[in-house]
Amino acid sequence: MAALLSVLPKLGVLFVIVQLELYNKALFIAALLSIIVGAIGALNQTRIKRLLAYSSIGHMGFILLGLAIGDIVSIQASIVYMVAYILTQILLWSIILTTALDKDSIIELGAIYRVTPILGLTLAVGLLSAAGIPPLAGFLTKWYIVVAAINQGYYVSALIALAFSVVSGVYYLRIIKIIFYQPRSSLFTITKVLRGDYPKVNLSKALLMGGSLYIIITVILCPNTLLQLVHLVII
């Protein structure tokens, strides 16, 4: 339920705005507020699902920023961002739901890399992409939005987006630090390892995570293919 609600409503809103051409100052303000609130609100979160919920607000702000600019390049950048966002969310939520966290606490993720290194590395790639670390897909999509804003003269908005993108990277890196460097004495980690039920990955979950990770890596290596497809959709 949480995974679906984090993706599907945003996809519907995007296409409604594009179809009705609702490009105005109110959308611009909503975009900047979403970027700011999403970055700041997630900083002090200790529960992974709440953190992802706040981060989705920030991602939606970037998408709205591209739509608020209103030209073909910025709209194309927003749609590309949405595609990368959906793929990243599928990857992150599939791993989070697979781990079956007892307390939904970020600290419980500390056992992933030690128990299943491949799963830990996959989660780290998804988080780094969401943070916008180059050369991952999340960096490319954020870069397209910022470049579109600069080309249209929205320099202040571009600076705000860049600044709070750096802020949002803090909590993603904090999770990665927990994944790789959480002390073995953690109560949650010991409990999970002793119970032997962490994590459980069946074939369908493995295909879902592997498929989304494959597409994210493909976007890194061949971004022009996605850009051309989105351009054909717009025109």
pLDDT tens digits, residue range 68-81? 887 888 888 888 88
CA gap 87, 67 in Å, rounded: 20
For residues 123-139, average pLDDT: 86
For residues 120-126, average pLDDT: 87
The answer to whether 169 touches 131, Cβ cutoff 8 Å, is yes
Structure tokens at 1: 């339920």
Q: Which amino acid is at 116?
A: T
The residues near 153 (Cβ < 8 Å, ≥ 6 apart) are none
CA gap 48, 50 in Å, rounded: 6
Q: Which amino acid is at 103?
A: K
Res 196 pLDDT > 60: no
Q: Give the global pTM.
A: 0.82
For residues 165-180, average pLDDT: 87
Q: Domain locations in the chain?
A: 2-234
pLDDT in tens, 20-39: 666 677 888 888 999 999 89
